[in-house]
Amino acid sequence: NKVKKDRKVVTFFVTLQSLVTKELQEEIEGNTNNGAILTGFRAAGCRVRVVPPNLTALKLDAKIIVRPDQNNETIKRAIKEAVVDFVGQLDIGEQLRPSALTTHLMTTQPILACTLFKQNTDNVLETVYPASAKHVLRSTLGDIIVSLKI
């Protein structure tokens, strides 16, 4: 059930991105039949093609220490959502700095400590760079595994 919800989020993002791309293309091209409606911004004789960025999935593990007065499962869910929101705000071609994400989690969530790892490994997460300036990093709730440190 969670996987289906995550796929819907990604599908929604891609659909929304396609709609925005189409609107942006129309804004740049203008109305070729009636320039008074929408003049456009490209120079005559030039072709401009708007292409959406390629999505690069970011998968990670977060190991946390929760304050004793907090509900562990609620905090795990909140951490996942906070990571997805943080990654979703990254710009096209922008890298993910683990220190910035950790600072964000420590200041917005009731946790005492947080360490980020590459998913299913014991390797600490290092700066993640998109493949090119045409790629954007994104995560879903299913891409994030949150566990408690002992």
- Distance between CA atoms of residues 31 and 103, nearest Å: 47
Nearest to 115 by CA among 45, 106, 81: 106
pLDDT at 124: 96
pLDDT at 39: 78
pLDDT at 50: 78
Which residues, in sequence order, are CB contacts of 17 under 8 Å at separation 6+? Answer: 52, 53
- Distance between CA atoms of residues 128 and 98, nearest Å: 8
Give residue-wise pLDDT tens across range 101-134.
999 999 999 999 999 999 999 999 999 999 998 8
**pLDDT < 50 stretches in the chain:** 1-7, 9-12
Alpha helices (H) along 44-118: 72-88, 98-108
Is the model's pTM score more than 0.85? no
